[in-house]
Amino acid sequence: MRRFAWRLQRVLDIRTKEEQLKRMELFRLTETLAIKRSELLTRQRILREIMAEITQDRSPGRLGTQEFFLRNADRDDRIIRTLKDEIRDLEVRQKEKTAEVLAAKRFKEGLEKLRAEAKARFLEEQERLEQKEMDDRTTISFARRQSDALMPHAVSSHAHPVDTSWEHTP
């Protein structure tokens, strides 16, 4: 039996690699996004804890601590705004990359379906050819047996040679 060879196999292989690369890019983006979100949450938590400590502090040094916090609050707000902007950008890129991965996956799955259909047609054709060959062999074998049965005196490939020389003995 012939081996199945699909002419679009190379395209399928390339699309499979492409999907894997896009998945890796999506994974890296998701990792970066998780790191940025964690950093943002950590900074916000630290600022809340500092503000809670300042509001609970009743000592005379509270005003100095509060003044220091307020001087640095602008810098902290800029950092938090920057982190939020980076997170929004990463979320947009993540959605785009997710759409790319899904499109690549659907295309690859379409190719895989075409390949499966082509292989099924190939196997059916091979089975049909094998069946035709077996039918031909059976027909030829049957015809030979019938021929041998109908003409026993005819020379066949199975018969012994007949001596046709006449020798007259006086």
**Residue 162 confidence (pLDDT) above 60:** no
Main-chain dihedrals φ then ψ at residue 88, nearest 5 degrees: -60, -45
pLDDT of residue 75: 92
pLDDT of residue 164: 56
Q: Confidence class of residue 170 from pLDDT cuts 50, 70 and 90?
A: low
Over residues 84-140, the pLDDT tens digits come to 999 999 999 999 999 999 999 999 999 999 999 999 999 999 999 999 999 999 999
Over residues 48-65, the pLDDT tens digits come to 998 888 888 888 888 888
Token pair for residue 112?
């895989």
Alpha-helical runs (H) found in the chain: 9-56, 62-150
Integer Cα distance of 36 and 40 in angstroms: 6
Q: Confidence class of residue 153 from pLDDT cuts 50, 70 and 90?
A: low
Q: Which of 12-26, 66-80, 138-152 reaches the highest mean pLDDT?
A: 12-26
CB 97 within 8 A of CB 29: yes
Give the Cβ contact number of residue 125 at 10 Å: 11
Integer Cα distance of 115 and 110 in angstroms: 9
Q: Confidence class of residue 13 from pLDDT cuts 50, 70 and 90?
A: very high
pTM for the whole structure: 0.67
Integer Cα distance of 83 and 47 in angstroms: 15
pLDDT of residue 104: 97
pLDDT of residue 2: 84
Give the Cβ contact number of residue 73 at 10 Å: 13
Looking at the chain, the whole-number percentage of residues with pLDDT higher than 70 is 88
Scanning the structure block, which residue is given the tokens 């929004």? 88
Token pair for residue 158?
């199975």
Token pair for residue 113?
């379906």
Please report, for the chain, the start and end positions of each structural domain, with discontinuous segments joined by +: 9-116
pLDDT of residue 159: 53
pLDDT of residue 168: 55
Cα atoms in the Cβ-side hemisphere of radius 13 Å centred on 8: 15
Give burial (CB, 10 Å; 0-12/13-18/19+) of 19: buried
